């Protein structure tokens, strides 16, 4: 008879053995990638024992207010230093932020000006440092250290943004962190300027710096600096702005040390913690006063910057009690080989910008203002892409996500019985500008961008028109720069700069603020080129509000085969100062005139060739037929709208020579249009039968959900789709291969007609 072996009893490892196993695993970790636990969490860290004890010893409201104001002033001072001394266009024109973070890494106070969402994202790399480097004997965190970072997968928007992070100690104990972040631009990517639209993988996007130590004893380490300088096209820029960010952090540190000297560490630690907790509690209180309801909206992107397609950003905003939930499920799947995806932290940072700059600007700038607000996304979507997907053009997604949120929030604010901020339509949301690169007139290799992206038109409000080219949605206190200063360093001119684009208007009872035209032409270099990063040449990237309209679409236009500088010298009367005139009148004989969608990969340009784009306008508010006729005529007089377009849209009648308004005729025309609307209208149930289709149109490359089924995500056609919870690769063909296939098909069709083959 066979005996059955009795399994040996498993020995339970002792605590010492478990500790040795954990040490072994930690010591042999192959790769410290982005930490999902850190990156998915935007809430405050739990109150630490040190913070609890400090609050117990010092919680006087007046002292806290005094210290908070002092730290705020220090952050603003650091911001001004970077803006005044920085070398990058982004530094000079306000695409900067500085902030103070708690010892646990939460952003407590940020500068009032600049790109607020930068600081709302730098808490991620600080928490990575705390988790991985604080107690690592090969790295450590000590007095005088500084860490650099730009990889958005560890925190930040995209790889053009570089942060300098310093720990602050008192009597040997870590009390807080300070950081400065700048849109540097050039980072060694596949295309110059830092935001490559041609990137097909993270490896194409240039420098990807996980948080690592680059400063010791408050001095930049020369070996690492040399490595970084050799990794980019502008070594001088890399060095100069690393120093600028370091010195800005040191200035903020000085203000903190002064506070520690006058009020002590308990007062500082208590101020940082209570500021965050009080803001978080206040946000929940304010949300609780909103009506309980759900708003659904969406925004369309019209390209991946390499091909035209319909890309949906889907948003449902729900408020219940003191809970506010942004649900972006149903948005397009991530593009496996296109860079218009975003890490979810970037989306959250942009939504925090929405609240701190457009809804509750009175709150202290910090992470706590968004901490209690919830965000839901599909995994591997354009709003929450995987770490293997490129995201150098993440602005394309976070800006449309911002607008979807802004559109929905406006409806909540409108529904509140008491209003503490004006309800307004969405601001124009795309960074329509030129990125440039090549060899300058001084023989230097450069790559960066024009600050025209900071001139977005503001949305109309409940009681007035939107401001022209007011500010970008990502930095409500920024500047569009002086092109003349830029021309000292780069070999091109903006022959037309900051001219309002006629008829690129978003109409409504109150119209949106206008955008402006940019025309650039290379002058003093044979190795210089341009690219663009923008949407909105086919479909507006936003929606109007309460009857207002989005702005019209506008193409990228090129005029080749001309040297416009020769024209200006010999026959200056031929030059026109608007895209409309140049493209319609075609004053340069023998030149080629072409229009394109807004996305353009890097192209080398010849001397005097014109590249022309326009900013869009902020969205309109209210019914067009309610606009004051005097406002319509004023827009005509200011060159914002042409008379024929004004009359067609607004149904306003006026004398073509004097612009005198014919009020009876205007009233009659508007009354006729209202009757025509009623005649065109059908009951909702009948409208839905003709409007709703079961699947996306066959001729469109469509991405995202269709209708109410947010779990079915289309991937370019009605036959290709995935569920929201089951990611699949979503590769786009190379546009050149698509074009070659089209031409081969045409040749095959010609061959089929007969004739001898050559």
At 646, list the tokens.
């004004």
Residue 13: its pLDDT value, please? 81
For the segment 486-530, what is each residue's pLDDT rounded down to a tens digit?
888 999 999 998 889 999 999 999 999 998 999 999 999 999 999
CA distance 724 to 713: 6
The dihedral through the CA atoms of 753, 755, 756, 758 has a sign that is negative
At 618, list the tokens.
């902020």
The owner of tokens 């959250």 is: 348
At 94, list the tokens.
């306000």
For the segment 342-352, what is each residue's pLDDT rounded down to a tens digit?
999 999 999 99
CA distance 552 to 439: 36
Cβ count within 10 A of residue 482: 12
CB-side neighbour CA atoms (13 Å) of 455? 24
Q: Which residues does the chain have with pLDDT short of 70?
A: 1-10, 119, 755-758
CA distance 433 to 81: 26
Q: Give how far the C-alpha of residue 417 lies from the chain's centroid of Cα atoms, to the nearest Å.
A: 32
Strand 96-102 to strand 107-110: parallel, antiparallel, or no bridges (unpaired)?
A: antiparallel
On whether the CB atoms of residues 434 and 595 are closer than 8 A, the answer is no
Per-residue exposure over 339-354, b if at least 16 CB sit within 10 Å of its own CB, e if not: bbbbbbbbbbbbbbbb
| Residue 14: burial class (beta carbons within 10 Å; 0-12, 13-18, 19+) | exposed
On whether the CB atoms of residues 232 and 238 are closer than 8 A, the answer is yes
Phi, psi of 75 (to 5 degrees): -65, -40
Cβ count within 10 A of residue 84: 11
Order across the sheet with 219-220: list the strands. 107-110, 96-102, 173-183, 161-170, 146-149, 212-216, 219-220
Q: Give how far the C-alpha of residue 11 lies from the chain's centroid of Cα atoms, to the nearest Å.
A: 55
CA distance 341 to 329: 15
Would you call 367 helix, strand, or coil by DSSP? helix
On whether the CB atoms of residues 518 and 589 are closer than 8 A, the answer is no
CA distance 730 to 337: 8
At 738, list the tokens.
């698509």
pTM of the model: 0.93
What is the number of residues in the chain? Answer: 758
Q: Which residues does residue 518 pair with via DSSP β-bridges, in sequence order?
A: 497, 613
| Residue 386: burial class (beta carbons within 10 Å; 0-12, 13-18, 19+) | middle
Would you call 132 helix, strand, or coil by DSSP? helix
**Shortest CA distance to 299 belongs to which of 381, 423, 396?**
396
On whether the CB atoms of residues 395 and 533 are closer than 8 A, the answer is yes
Residue 9: its pLDDT value, please? 63
Alpha helices, H only, 304-463: 344-354, 395-415
């Amino acid at each position: 008879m066979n005996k059955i072996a009795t399994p040996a009893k498993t020995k339970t490892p002792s605590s010492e053995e478990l500790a040795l196993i954990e040490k072994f695993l930690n010591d042999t970790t192959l790769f410290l990638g982005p930490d999902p636990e850190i990156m998915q969490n935007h809430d405050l860290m739990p109150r630490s024992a040190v913070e609890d004890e400090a609050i117990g010893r010092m919680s006087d409201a007046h002292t806290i207010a005094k210290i908070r104001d002092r730290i705020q002033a220090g952050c603003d001072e650091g911001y001004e230093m970077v803006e005044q001394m920085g070398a990058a266009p982004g530094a000079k024109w306000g695409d900067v932020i500085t902030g103070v973070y708690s010892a646990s890494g939460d952003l407590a106070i940020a500068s009032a000006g600049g790109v607020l969402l930068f600081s709302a994202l730098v808490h991620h790399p600080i928490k990575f440092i705390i988790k991985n480097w604080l107690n690592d004997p090969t790295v450590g965190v000590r007095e005088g250290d500084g860490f650099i970072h730009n990889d958005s997968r560890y925190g930040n928007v995209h790889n053009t943004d570089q942060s300098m992070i310093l720990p602050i100690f008192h009597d040997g104990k870590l009390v807080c962190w300070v950081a400065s972040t700048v849109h540097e631009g050039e980072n060694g990517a596949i295309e110059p300027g830092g935001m490559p639209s041609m990137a097909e993988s993270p490896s194409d996007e240039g420098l990807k710096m996980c948080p690592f130590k680059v400063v010791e004893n408050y001095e930049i380490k020369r070996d690492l600096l040399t490595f970084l300088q050799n990794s980019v096209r502008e070594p001088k820029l890399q060095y100069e702005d690393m120093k600028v960010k370091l010195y800005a952090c040191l200035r903020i540190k000085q203000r903190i040390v002064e506070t520690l000297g006058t009020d002590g560490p308990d007062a500082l630690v208590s101020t940082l913690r209570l500021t965050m907790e009080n803001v978080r509690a206040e946000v929940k209180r304010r949300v609780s006063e909103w009506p309980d309801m759900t708003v659904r909206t969406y925004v369309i992107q019209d390209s991946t910057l390499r091909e035209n397609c319909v890309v949906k950003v889907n948003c449902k905003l729900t408020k219940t009690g003191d809970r506010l939930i942004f649900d972006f499920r149903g948005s397009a799947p991530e593009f496996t080989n296109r860079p218009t995806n975003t890490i979810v932290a970037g989306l959250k940072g942009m939504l925090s910008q929405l609240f701190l700059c457009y809804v509750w600007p009175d709150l202290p700038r910090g992470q706590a203002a968004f901490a209690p607000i919830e965000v839901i996304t599909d995994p591997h979507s354009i709003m929450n892409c995987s770490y293997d997907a490129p995201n150098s053009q993440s602005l394309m997604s976070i800006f449309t996500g911002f607008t979807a949120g802004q559109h929905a929030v406006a409806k909540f604010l409108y529904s509140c019985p008491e209003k503490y901020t004006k309800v307004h339509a969405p601001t124009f949301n795309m960074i329509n500008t030129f990125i440039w690169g090549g060899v300058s007139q001084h023989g230097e290799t450069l790559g960066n961008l024009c600050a025209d992206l900071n001139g977005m038109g503001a949305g109309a409000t409940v009681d007035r028109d939107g401001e022209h080219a007011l500010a970008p949605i990502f930095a409500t206190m920024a500047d569009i720069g002086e092109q003349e200063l830029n021309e000292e360093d780069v070999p091109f001119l903006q022959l037309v700069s900051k001219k309002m684009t006629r008829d690129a208007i978003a109409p409504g009872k109150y119209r949106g603020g206008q955008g402006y035209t940019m025309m650039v032409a290379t002058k003093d270099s044979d190795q210089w080129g341009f690219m663009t990063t923008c949407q909105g040449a086919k479909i507006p990237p936003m929606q109007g509000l309460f009857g207002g309209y989005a702005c019209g679409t506008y193409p990228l236009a090129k005029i080749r085969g001309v040297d416009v500088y020769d024209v200006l010298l010999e026959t200056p009367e031929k030059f026109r100062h608007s895209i409309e005139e140049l493209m319609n009148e075609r004053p340069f004989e023998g030149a080629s005139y072409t229009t394109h969608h807004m996305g353009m990969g890097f192209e080398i340009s010849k001397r005097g060739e014109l590249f022309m784009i326009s900013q869009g306008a902020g969205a309109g508010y209210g019914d067009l037929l309610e606009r004051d006729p005097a406002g319509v005529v004023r827009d005509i007089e200011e060159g914002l709208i042409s008379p024929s377009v004004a009359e067609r849209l607004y149904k306003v009648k006026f004398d073509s020579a004097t612009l005198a308004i014919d009020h009876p005729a205007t009233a009659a025309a508007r009354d006729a249009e209202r009757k025509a609307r009623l005649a065109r209208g059908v009951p909702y149930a009948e409208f839905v039968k003709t409007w709703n289709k079961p699947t996306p149109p066959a001729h469109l490359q469509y991405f995202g959900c269709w209708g109410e089924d947010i779990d079915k995500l289309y991937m370019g056609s009605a036959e290709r789709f995935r569920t929201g919870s089951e990611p699949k690769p979503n590769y786009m063909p190379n546009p050149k291969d698509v074009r070659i296939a089209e031409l081969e098909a045409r040749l095959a069709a010609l061959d089929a007609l007969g004739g001898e083959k050559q």
